[in-house]
Amino acid sequence: MFKFPGLGGYHPQPGARVGDVAPDFTLPDAAGNPVSLKDLLGRGPLVLAFFPRANTPVCTAQMCSLRDAEAQLARRARVLGISYSDQASMRRFSEKLHLPMTLLCDTEKRVARLYGVYGFLAPARVSFILDGQGVIRAVIDRVTASSHAAQVLKALDDAGL
């Protein structure tokens, strides 16, 4: 598989592998409100969907796939999209596409490093499936953007969530 220079790849590391407790973090959402992983735990499964950049074609396909399956996903898990994009870009992206999920801005690339998806220009397109206690139950490291929702739903099924 061809890799673009500067784009992240998934590098499993302690804390970011299946069976590990996911690293806690706090990031601003598209409106600038802080969102902490620890505050979301205990309310059911979570999907942390890393994507390279807001408003790019493949990222649009990935997020629209999740948006279009929102009714199915919302019954099973809460979805968080995470990218290096800034708040203004994420806000425009969310509004333009009517995205129901919370988009988080990892502009300092800290969370991408914690989860082993760091790239100089953009994080890897990887999704982590967490149970309600924050344990990583699945990692989707070969995301197919246009059918990502189906991948997430299958991972939730396979994990018994």
CA distances from 150 to 20, 24, 27, 32, 57 (A): 24, 26, 27, 30, 19
Return the structure tokens found at 51. Answer: 């994507």
59 in active site: yes
44 CA to centre of own chain: 16
Residue type at 121 in one-letter notation = L
CA 54 to CA 114: how far, in whole Å? 21
Encoded amino acid at 86, one letter: D
Whole-Å CA distances, 113 to 12, 34, 161: 11, 19, 26
CB within 8 Å of 109: residues ≥ 6 apart: 84, 118, 123
Which of 37, 46, 49, 59 is the catalytic position? 59
* Positions marked active-site: 59
